[in-house]
Amino acid sequence: MSDLKNQTCEACQADAPAVSDQELKELMREIPEWAPVSRDGVMQLERAYKFKNFKKAWAFHELVAQMAEDEFHHPTLTLEWGKLTVTWWTHAIKGLHRNDFIMAAKTDALLEKLDS
């Protein structure tokens, strides 16, 4: 079991390999709260985090945005009252790269940084 949350993203070019079906299955085991979704034929990873109000969701949004910039790999973030939906995929390959699983695991790890 690789420790995805402690890995870093690699620079992603257009010819980078998308994860295989087998790799997808294996990697999903490490991020069980996430769902693989297909949008307009593009495979993505998505998780909706629930919070007690907008301010908490906003605080988590800030943490995720900063982490994305630090790793230079960016998600779609949908911020609502009491909820932040995070979606990862790799634009350069129009699909899922190992980077997306690393970032999903890092996103889960960020929850512990939120003051309760």
Binding site for ligand H2B (CB under 6 A): 12, 72-74, 90-92
Instruction: Report the nearest approach of ligand H2B to the CB of residue 97 (Å).
Output: 8
Of 10 and 55, which CB lies nearer to ligand H2B in the complex structure? 10
**Please, which residue, 6 or 76, has the CB nearer to ligand H2B?**
76
Instruction: Name the minimum Å distance from CB 90 to ligand H2B.
Output: 4
Please list, residue by residue across 77-86, b when 16 or more beta carbons sit within 10 angstroms of its beta carbon and e when fewer do: bebeeeebeb
Q: Is 57 left (phi over 0), alpha (psi -120 to 50) or beta?
A: alpha
Q: What is the DSSP letter of 52?
A: S
